[in-house]
A and B are shown apart, each in its own frame.
Chain A
């Protein structure tokens, strides 16, 4: 009973970390690409904001559980961020 609960929580944590990591990475890259600032500023500003936002997102996913719908929405958001970071002209 306890072991199955621990296994479920570990699965939840793994999925939450993977989603948060991917989203944090590609959203930061996309925002850096789109910000109308000098290059050095555009690089550091989203990086500063990414850490606290990633922690809040991870805690929220751990608390509520990354349901299928949430996983899908976050994965789509990550994919959009990836595309924007590669092809900013799409924005």
Chain B
């Protein structure tokens, strides 16, 4: 390839990486956490710690509860207990409002969790940056730029195989950071490309609505109903007794296998035209599409079986499934978690490399320090170390905010953004290296102390979780400790011989 072409692609790689890198780090980091969003929610709502119960008695309990509390609701959703989410979750809509209640399926006790968005907020931060449709577009732009940066990176680092085995930690700052960036980029290259592509595909109709506008006149609901082969009976106003849901569960288990039913949706319950959808769990398949049986809620007649899809729809669900990582259990999710962290590290090393390269060039050419590059360097600190502080503060807020605080879940979220914002003046006022060290150390300390805070503020401390086999809680506590240790280790490494300089503020 001609030098001019390589230079163009190198320019594209550098600047596209920098411009979206700040946001992309947050997207990748929250994406890594999002694979464990259920466990994180579990940790953030320890009141939901119960032992999972069998499907049939749980459903009987849920059905009776919904008849008592949501008899007039047009829609019920029942999520049966599982190892990941052991509480029975009942949701319904009434008078335009949505309700979700949790029950201990063994005792029937109503569980009242603390108000918190839990891991769901991290998922939302991952795909839309908590900014609705504009945020979704911004994250989509990040995804496209990640693909472009990946593609241009492959072309400009043509020695991919050699790069994989090259890491010279003592060969000078620029060379070491470049080796680290290349190594992390090559190591997880298929993952980087796959996750960016499937992320775009997951909201394809938003980012490229051409075909949907052409064939559906922009009516996406019609597309979703058609592609999901949804069957809905017209609702009737006349009250009619429904067949028992446990009877339908038994039929569904005979079709899917014992213990395979994940949830039930009831449309127009206890009225004419009642429809019951029984959904199978998706954890044993890559495709993110639940097989489904649809029954007439009044007669119990099986109306529809959805367990096959067209090749085009299957392709889509497999690609979406690759992104959401609901298959393969804990090993696959841990793999995604570490590969996601490798993406974060690749982005962070790329950002650092950008600054070091320009700083060394300025020193070599005896030029005055550039104010623009100094600001970029501080933005790097803010985007990486500042964001980590914000996320750690989100978990602290979950344990420290009063349970009776109105709008508590909103305050948890606000804490993340406020702490992140508070790291901005620190990053601007301190020398860049000191800002890196201090912010990484503070994020590390916040993470390291989280299990202690958890032990002091709840009964679900680490030893209790380990003794009672509550692995979801224990693994989150242990992950906080590991992350804290890692961040403290990086801060320590960066601080070698520099602590006195930072104390003097140089």
Contact = CB atoms under 8 A, between A and B. Distances in A.
Interface residues of A, number: 36
A10 to B, nearest CB: 9
Contacts of A37: 310, 312
A39 interface: yes
B52 interface: no
Contacts of B212: 43, 47
A55 to B, nearest CB: 5
A63 B155 contact: yes
A75 interface: no
A55 B226 CA distance: 29
Given A9-B11, A40-B223, A44-B313, A51 B214 contact: no
A43 B12 contact: no
A48 B312 CA distance: 9
B8 A45 contact: no
Contacts of A13: 12
Interface stretch (B67-75, B146-154, B435-443): B146-154
Given A48-B315, A55-B144, A58-B148, A65 B200 contact: no
Nearest to A51: B200
B204 A65 contact: no
A47 B155 contact: no
B8 A44 contact: no
A55 B214 CA distance: 22
Given A48-B315, A62-B8, A64-B5, A26 B210 contact: yes
Given A55-B144, A55-B147, A46 B211 contact: yes
B240 interface: no
B8 A63 contact: yes
B310 to A, nearest CB: 5
Contacts of A62: 8-9, 12, 152
A29 interface: yes
Contact of B227 (A33, A40, A59): A40
B50 interface: no
B324 interface: no
B148 A51 contact: no
B306 interface: no
Contacts of A29: 210-211, 213-214
A44 B211 contact: yes
A59 B9 contact: yes
B316 interface: yes
Contacts of A44: 204, 211, 227, 312-313, 315-316
B70 to A, nearest CB: 33
Interface in B1-35: 1, 5-6, 8-9, 11-12
Interface string A49-63: 011100110110011
Given A38-B310, A59-B148, A85 B208 contact: no
B201 interface: yes
Residue in A33, A50, A59 with the greatest tally of chain B CB atoms within 10 Å: A59
B43 interface: no
B90 to A, nearest CB: 32
Interface string B118-159: 000000000000000000000000001001100110010000
B211 A42 contact: yes
A32 interface: yes
A42 B223 CA distance: 11
B41 to A, nearest CB: 31
Nearest to B216: A43
Contacts of B207: 51
Contact of B8 (A12, A25, A56, A85): A12
A51 B204 CA distance: 9
Interface of B: 1, 5-6, 8-9, 11-12, 144, 147-148, 151-152, 155, 197, 200-201, 204-205, 207-208, 210-216, 223, 226-227, 310-313, 315-316, 319
20 contacts: A9-B8, A12-B8, A24-B208, A25-B208, A28-B208, A32-B211, A32-B215, A33-B215, A41-B313, A44-B315, A44-B316, A47-B210, A48-B204, A48-B319, A51-B204, A51-B208, A55-B144, A56-B151, A58-B148, A59-B152
